[in-house]
Structure 1
Amino acid sequence: MIHNRTRPDRGRSVLGPALQLVHTGRAPTRAVLTAELGVTRATAGAVAAELQGLGLITVDSRPAGSAAGSQGRPSHRLAVEPNGPVVLAAQVHADGFRAALVSLGGTIVATTPGCGDVDADPVHVLRAVVEEGAGLLRRTGRRCVGAGLAVPSAVAEPEGTALNPLHVPWPPGAPVRAVFSQCLAEAGISGPEPGSIAVGHAANDVNLGALAEHRHGAGRGAQHLLCVATGHRGVGGALVLDGRLHAGSSGLALEVGHLTVDPQGRPCHCGGRGCLDVETDPLALLEAAGREAGPEVSLLDQARDLLRTAHPGDPAVREAVHRLIDRLGLGLAGLVNILNPDRIILGGLHRELLRADEERLRAVVAERSLWGRSGAVPVLACTLDHNSLVGAAEMAWQPVLDDPLLLQEA
């Protein structure tokens, strides 16, 4: 290991970037790591060895085979340590909550089934979330190095308050970050430094889903990535610019759910009419198809089941899908005109609508966007299951990604 004070400054300064490259799959071999970091082969080897010593990555001593006809020595394989530490990730939504343990690489190691009953007191809900996560940690025996929370609301910075959680019964301005941290402390959930208690991180669920997709999913490699998604209720958006999540001056950017797509449409919770939030979410699909939403299964699952079992054979369902696709396409076109992304990814029910009639959605976006006819923006489905959970984990992992030596024993 090379974490003593005599280690060259250059090697120390690239430890975090090296871990991020392995974490996101961009450095599968030591040769690639050397090139990406711009260091000598010896320095890259020392850095990889240190990350291995910290229990974060594996370095395969059997070199990866080179392609036929290639020159040079085959390189060692690098991968995330499969039995390494994890973070506790949680998501609260209109139909309940879920807790999970997530390792480096965005891999969900263990998860609870979805739990219901989000009541009006965020303390009750977040305490239950943390208790579920603590149970996962006990059962798996994994070391926890942080915790992150995804919520269906804009989260103001730096206060960490959920400003307007329309789809859960919490009061406006609920101090979700402080409450989450308090619950973690009560449960003794550990943080990255040995002997420390985890500090809770909290952010908007769609923002976190976009971050996860950019690092591990359909958004990988995009420079200007727009994500639009509908989960259990409502619609959210997120923008990743030059690899960084754009949250605005105080964490409130990209509230795309309140973009008007039908001035004569449904009344919205915000006081307007015809917003994406109420024109393209699961409840909108069920009602447009003449189906009554039931209480026993989440709205998102009900909408997915309807698409799977009745589309395109049922005319009412087919017409409802067309209606939602047209509204969604109109909203996406407006966002393309303003933001000029190089890729759009769709999550939740929007992902299912894209798969149901990809040609129609692309045509609406192309027709209504300024540049659509000359160079259509790719519109892709999100590829990660539970991407908001993975994004919550990314927040919790970030201190370690910035400084892996936090995990070092004194």
Structure 2
Amino acid sequence: MTQTRTTRLERGRSALGPALELVHTGQAPTRAVLTAELGVTRATAGAVAAELETLGLITVDAHPTAPVGTQGRPSHRLAVNPSGPVVLAAQVHADGYRAALVGLGGRIVATAPGCGTVDADPAQVISEVVGAGAELLRGTGRRCVGAGLAVPSAVAEPEGTALNPLHLAWEAGAPVLDTFRDCLAGAGVPGPSGAPPVTGFAANDLNAAALAEHRHGAGRGARHLLVVGTGHHGVGGALVLDGRLHTGSSGLAMEVGHLTIEPGGRPCHCGSRGCLDVETDPSALLAAAGREPGPEASLLRQAEDLIRDEYGTDPAVREATGLLIDRLGLGLAGLVNILNPDRVVLAGLHRALVEADGERLRGVVADRSLWGRSGSVPVLPSTLSHSSLVGAAELAWQPVLDDPLGTLGG
């Protein structure tokens, strides 16, 4: 490295993390945009981009070309390195688990098929999903720089215990983070230096999904993003403020599933009645439509298929979908009044509800919000597949985004 480039890089060293995050989230497709976003000189932006390329994180187009008919010097294009390092992402839910390798940009590089049952011993299922991820790493030969786990429970910080795994047969207080890290060490998953163990992180699955949507999906560009969704069982919520998850004083914020919307409604696992958790999840839709759950697929898949295949032809399905939309709208209106987000993204079955009749849902939210229709917040369907997996990966990518050189030993 020349002395000039060294000097420029020293001036821009603090910009390495912000620069990587801009490329990671698709906000800096060229070096010219990177220069403007960072507020540095073109030479410093060039040195920063070159260092990130040396670390194997991004690619820089060495011979940029300008589109026909345009004038001026073409800017070097920037992109995440498709052959660069990955993180091991894992998700456990009520109907199984899945492991994946995820690169920068939220790109899923490889996945391992999920199992159909979840053991009552969290150590057993976490060991299995880590083993599946370790096999993917061996098969691809990719460098691993971290690992993230998403679980259907509030995860206390900093101890990493699952405090309310209501839809799993796990005991409250299961030490999921310690177990995850022990399993990573036991499987010999290497870290950035090539030696095990890799550092593991754990979070609630909706928190993880919200982070993914904010960086790579329908929530990109929002300052105050509210994400609400229902997966296989129950309802969760998450809030992203200025790019960071709001997890409260100890990781337990945004348990929105236990907002009461029907005081005399269905009994909830929390001991109350009529919570969003049991009034707007897949079981609630099937019950409202008069359908018995089948054994052939997850409840989420069955509920989504019911809306997709029969919403337009079966009055009972259409009525049940409308009922859940109205219930969900009540809960969202309360959250909008309290949190004042600039965007709401709906995931899981709730995505299917807004896609079925978004106008009805937005109308309920607007009618019951403090500001009425003139100030109604956009309510959008999520756009990512496997958002909790991608979000689990974001947990592991965060140290790299914060300090690329320090984390990767450059």
1:402 deviates by 1.2
In 2, Cα distance between equivalents of 1:319 and 1:20: 44
Amino acid in structure 2 at the alignment position of 1:38: G
Aligned to 1:130: 130
- Structure 1 gap segments, 5+ residues each: none
> TM-score w.r.t. structure 1 length?
0.96
Cα distance change on mapping 1:378 and 1:267 into 2, 3 Å: same
How large is the Cα RMSD of the aligned pairs?
Answer: 1.7
How does 1:53-64 map onto structure 2 within 5 Å?
Answer: 53-64=54-65
Quick one: distance in 2 between partners of 1:7 and 1:171?
54
> Is 2:236–2:256's contact at 8 Å kept on the other side of the alignment?
yes
The equivalent residue for 1:230 is 230
3-state secondary structure, aligned to 1:306: helix
Residue identity matched to 1:373: R
Distance 1:44 1:183 in 2: 40
In 2: Cα distance, 1:58 partner to 1:69 partner: 24
Instruction: Please say if residues 8 and 43 of structure 2, whose CA atoms lie closer than 8 Å, have aligned partners that are also in contact.
Output: no
Deviation at 1:408, TM superposition (A): 4.7
Instruction: Report the 3-state secondary structure (helix = DSSP H, G, I; strand = E; otherwise coil) of the residue aligned with 1:97.
Output: strand
> 1:194, CA displacement in angstroms?
3.9
Q: Secondary structure at the match of 1:346?
A: strand
Q: 2 CA distance for matches of 1:407 and 1:168?
A: 35
Length, aligned pairs only: 409
What per-residue deviation string (whole Å, max 9, x for no partner) do you get for residues 299-335 of structure 1? 0011111112211211111111011000000000000
Q: Aligned pair in 2 of structure 1 residues 311, 283: CA closer, same or farther (>3 Å)?
A: same
Alpha-carbon distance in structure 1 between the residues aligned to 2:383 and 2:70: 34
Match of 1:284 in 2: 284
Question: Which consecutive residues of structure 2, in runs of 5 or more, have no partner in the other structure?
Answer: none
Structure 1 residues 407 and 2, CA gap change in structure 2 (3 angstroms): farther
Residue in structure 2 matched with residue 9 of structure 1 by the alignment: 10
- Aligned pairs for 1:140-151 (under 5 A) are 140-151=140-151
> Which one-letter code corresponds to 1:28 in the other structure?
P
Query: What is the distance in 2 between the residues matched to 1:226 and 1:354?
Result: 15
Percent identical residues: 75
Q: 2:278 and 2:313 mapped to 1: Cα distance?
A: 25
Partner of 1:381: 381
Are 1:44 and 2:52 an aligned pair?
A: no
**Structure 1 residues 157 and 262: alpha-carbon distance in aligned structure 2, compared to 1, 3 A threshold:** same
1:34-183 matches, within 5 Å, as 34-65=35-66, 68=69, 70=71, 72-183=72-183
Distance of aligned partners of 1:293 and 1:394 in 2 relative to their CA distance in 1, 3 Å threshold: same
The alpha-carbon distance between structure 1 residues 243 and 204, as it changes in their structure 2 partners (threshold 3 A), is same
Which is further off, 310-319 or 157-166? 310-319
Deviation at residue 68 of structure 1 after TM alignment: 4.7
CA apart distance, 1:7: 6.3
The answer to whether the 8 Å contact 1:2/1:46 transfers is no
Runs of 4+ in structure 1 displaced over 4 angstroms?
A: 1-8, 66-70, 407-410
Q: CA shift at 1:400, angstroms?
A: 1.0
Per-residue deviation, residues 317-372 of structure 1 (Å, max 9, x unmatched):
11110110000000000001101111100000000010111111111111111113
Larger deviation, residues 329-338 vs 288-297 = 288-297
Verify the 8 A CA contact 1:89 1:102 in the aligned structure 2. Answer: yes
